[in-house]
């Protein structure tokens, strides 16, 4: 009887967040933007590898994405706290659409595609991302009521990962049928639909600080807050090093073309596999949020991620590789829900943009710099050893974090009130 009561307490209404019109629009904007942006990553990576057949070219692609995103995200967080976040998102969505259209123009004649031009457009897209990411994270708190934080975070994460499945999977077939130029035009349509959904969300009340601080001082305030909360800093750092060394996504074009021999269609499915795993766990989190004993759950999830990457590294069978990537996405999905909820629940409203920008620095560094690290290391020691070493390093990072980050290890929230327990 007692066990039934405990289970009942852990269950949460499944559709609560979706009953709110503005939340549905926000999720719609997230869906179309994710479909387009994830498909874009697949197409640009495969196109560049087909042009060069060099892992270094994929590494440089990651660096070109990382430089503007990381260098501008601090300023982007400051802008998100002092200016209208909805307008920022509308402008940056429009820039993303224009970038996709220009990529289609550059790819009009495949044999004359300008590699430098592709890198330049991706650099501009990274500039837009430097402003969009912190604004989007902060704007979410204006749209979603606090009592629905985890439910909405689970739905948003579910949307993100489901579209991360559909986007890469579909674009592989589109690429084979219509080539790079056709793929980029479809991607541009996704960005347009995302812009429309965002435009339909009414203006929201935003707590803008009355005294405008200097840019540098404003940025320092965000970092100071994160540094004063070791559990938040440890969670961000754990994700940084896990994905920086354990990420294998940047090298999937090599696996698809040279190791598994499955081509563009197989590449799309490989890219979709982690997102499919993350989708499954995110949907479960709408009913059973992993926020109770959040720190322990986060550590276990990143550990599982590292093991999955090691298995994928040595696999030469397509379905085993798909399974390993699926499991990596499952564990990463737990991590995403927990970290998204932590940032929302531990951040005061007037600092949300700047705290989000700190989080996005870690995310950008782990994803894009991780792609650069993977491309460079793979060109030196080979693709399989590179991925395997990354998975092992991830497990070591988890062990160190569990040993020294006590506040993260014991962090827990009440799943009903969303208040911190420890």
Domains annotated on the chain, with CATH:
16-203+213-409 (1.20.1250.20)
Q: Which two tokens mark 307? A: 């093991």
pLDDT (tens digit, 9 = 90+) per residue, 351-362? 776 777 677 666
- Stated pTM of the model: 0.65
Q: Are 303 and 395 in contact (CB under 8 A)?
A: yes
pLDDT (tens digit, 9 = 90+) per residue, 154-201? 788 778 777 877 888 788 888 888 888 899 999 999 999 999 999 999
DSSP string, 167-204: HHHHHHHHHHHHHHHHHHHHHHHHHHHHHHHHHHSPP-
Q: What phi, psi does 339 have (nearest 5°)?
A: -65, -40
Q: What phi, psi does 413 have (nearest 5°)?
A: -125, 150
pLDDT (tens digit, 9 = 90+) per residue, 257-297? 888 888 777 887 887 788 788 778 777 776 777 777 777 88
Q: Are 396 and 302 in contact (CB under 8 A)?
A: no
DSSP 202: P
pLDDT (tens digit, 9 = 90+) per residue, 102-155? 999 998 876 566 788 899 999 999 889 888 888 888 888 888 887 777 777 778
């Amino acid at each position: 009887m007692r066990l039934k009561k405990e289970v009942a307490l852990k269950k949460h209404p499944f559709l609560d967040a979706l009953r709110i019109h503005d939340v549905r629009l926000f999720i719609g904007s997230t869906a179309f933007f994710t479909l387009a942006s994830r498909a874009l990553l697949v197409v640009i990576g495969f196109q560049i590898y087909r042009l060069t057949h060099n892992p270094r070219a994929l590494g440089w692609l990651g660096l070109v994405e990382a430089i503007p995103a990381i260098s501008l995200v601090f300023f982007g967080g400051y802008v998100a706290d002092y200016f209208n976040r909805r307008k920022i998102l509308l402008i940056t969505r429009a820039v993303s659409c224009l970038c996709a259209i220009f990529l289609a123009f550059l790819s009009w004649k495949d044999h004359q595609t300008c590699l430098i031009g592709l890198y330049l457009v991706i650099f501009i897209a990274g500039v837009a991302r430097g402003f969009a990411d912190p604004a989007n994270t902060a704007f979410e708190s204006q749209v979603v009521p606090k009592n629905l934080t985890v439910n909405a975070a689970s739905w948003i994460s579910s949307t993100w990962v489901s579209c991360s499945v559909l986007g890469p999977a579909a674009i592989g077939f589109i690429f084979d049928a219509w080539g790079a130029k056709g793929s980029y035009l479809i991607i541009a349509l996704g960005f347009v639909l995302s812009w429309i959904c965002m435009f339909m969300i009414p203006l929201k009340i935003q707590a803008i600080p009355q005294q405008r601080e200097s840019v540098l001082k404003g940025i320092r305030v965000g970092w100071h807050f994160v540094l004063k909360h070791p559990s938040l800093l440890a969670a961000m750092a754990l994700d940084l090093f896990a994905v920086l060394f354990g990420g294998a996504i940047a090298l999937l074009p090599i696996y698809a073309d040279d190791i598994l021999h499955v081509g563009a269609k197989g590449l799309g499915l490989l890219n979709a596999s982690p997102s499919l795993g993350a989708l499954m766990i995110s949907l479960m989190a709408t009913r059973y949020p992993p926020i109770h004993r959040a720190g322990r759950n986060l550590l276990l999830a990143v550990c599982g991620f590292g093991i999955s990457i090691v298995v994928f590294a040595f696999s030469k069978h397509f379905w085993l590789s798909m399974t390993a990537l699926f499991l990596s996405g499952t564990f990463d999905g737990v991590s995403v829900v927990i970290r998204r909820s932590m940032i929302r629940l531990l951040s005061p409203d007037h600092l949300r943009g700047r705290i989000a920008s700190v989080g996005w620095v870690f995310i950008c560094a782990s994803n894009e710099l991780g792609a650069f690290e993977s491309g460079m290391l793979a060109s030196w020691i080979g693709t399989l050893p590179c991925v395997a070493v990354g998975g092992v390093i991830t497990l070591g990072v988890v062990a160190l974090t569990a040993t020294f980050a006590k506040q993260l290890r014991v962090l827990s929230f009440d799943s009903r009130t969303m208040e911190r327990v420890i």
